[in-house]
Amino acid sequence: MSGHSKWAQIKRQKGVADSRRGAMFTKLTREIIVATRQGGPNPEGNFRLRLAIQKARESNMPKDNIESAVKKGSGAAEGAALQEMMLEGYGPAGVAVMLEALSDNRNRTVQEVRSTFTRYNGSMGESGCVSWIFENQGVITVETSGIDPDELSLYAIDAGATDVKVEKGLLEIYTDTHDFEIVKQAIEKRKKPVSAEVTMIPKNTVTLAEKEALSTVKLLEKLEELDDVQRVFSNLDYNDALIEKLKAEA
């Protein structure tokens, strides 16, 4: 997971082009709407909504947009009915791929996802084909500059973290989903995380040759760009060599 976090951080540092910012805001809006419908409009009592709003703010989404999304989710404003979907498949070299989608038209979304898999030499699979490889966990990522990573690691474990990993400037803190908020709040007292989310973590990863790895990353990025796709997960190993190649091509 560390390599994936490093690549995600590099992309954040390079910024989001204006042409993609609108698409990103659309995805954030949809997440806020669904979170509100599921748990109500009060972030204090709605964990998913609280995370969605935090992510929107970190992405510089205007306050009015956030409030409008909450209103749509609570029924105070009209909004399309959105269906949550988990789709699965394989990358060009057999890498496991899962994605979360929010859609008002399931058939359209499935068709777009299947077409993208095919276009980039992957294949969409049946439900359950790769989901067993992943497990839901909280992940809090902290830059290690200005802190003692070993000390913070022990502090995180005392707060309830299940595992920690230190790798070249980043400390990744893993939690059970029900302990995520507690550990996150504890870490924030020591240092602000660069990211904190509940996500799908692969139980094992796959290392590919450069050409296959780059083809897989291209597929993952194209899936992320689809309007209905919220997040994409894979068990690709983002090792140092792949990270350096991706940085050079970014």
Residue 120 shares a structural domain with residue 214: yes
Boundary of a domain, candidates 202, 218, 237: 202
Domain with residue 169: its CATH number is: 3.30.70.980
Residue 17 reports pLDDT greater than 60: no
Residue 219 shares a structural domain with residue 109: yes
Residue 147 shares a structural domain with residue 189: yes
Residue 161 shares a structural domain with residue 222: no
- Going by pLDDT thresholds of 50, 70 and 90, the confidence category of residue 79 is low
pLDDT, tens only, 198-246: 999 999 999 999 899 999 999 998 999 999 999 999 999 887 788 788 7
91, 236 Cβ separation under 8 angstroms: yes
What is the residue range of 226's domain?
A: 83-131+205-249
Residue 124 shares a structural domain with residue 211: yes
Residue 120 shares a structural domain with residue 227: yes
217, 249 Cβ separation under 8 angstroms: no
Residue 8 shares a structural domain with residue 70: yes
pLDDT, tens only, 96-153: 999 999 998 999 999 999 999 999 999 999 999 999 999 999 999 999 999 999 999 9
Residue 53 shares a structural domain with residue 91: no
Residue 173 reports pLDDT greater than 60: yes
Boundary of a domain, candidates 50, 74, 98: 74
Domain with residue 41: its CATH number is: 1.10.10.200
Residue 29 reports pLDDT greater than 70: yes
Bridge partner residues of 86 (DSSP): 100
CB atoms closer than 10 angstroms to residue 5: 19
- The number of folded domains in the chain is 3
The pLDDT, as a whole number, for residue 65 is 93
Region 176-205: mean pLDDT is: 92
Q: In 3D, which of 167, 168, 165 has the Cα closest to residue 201? A: 165
Residue 12 shares a structural domain with residue 114: no
Residue 193 shares a structural domain with residue 158: yes
Residue 122 shares a structural domain with residue 211: yes
Considering the entire predicted model, what is its pTM? Answer: 0.84
Residue 131 tokens, joined: 């989901």
Question: Pick the residue with more confidence: 171 or 17?
Answer: 171
Residue 47 shares a structural domain with residue 171: no
Burial of 33 (0-12, 13-18, 19+ CB in 10 A): buried
Burial of 233 (0-12, 13-18, 19+ CB in 10 A): buried
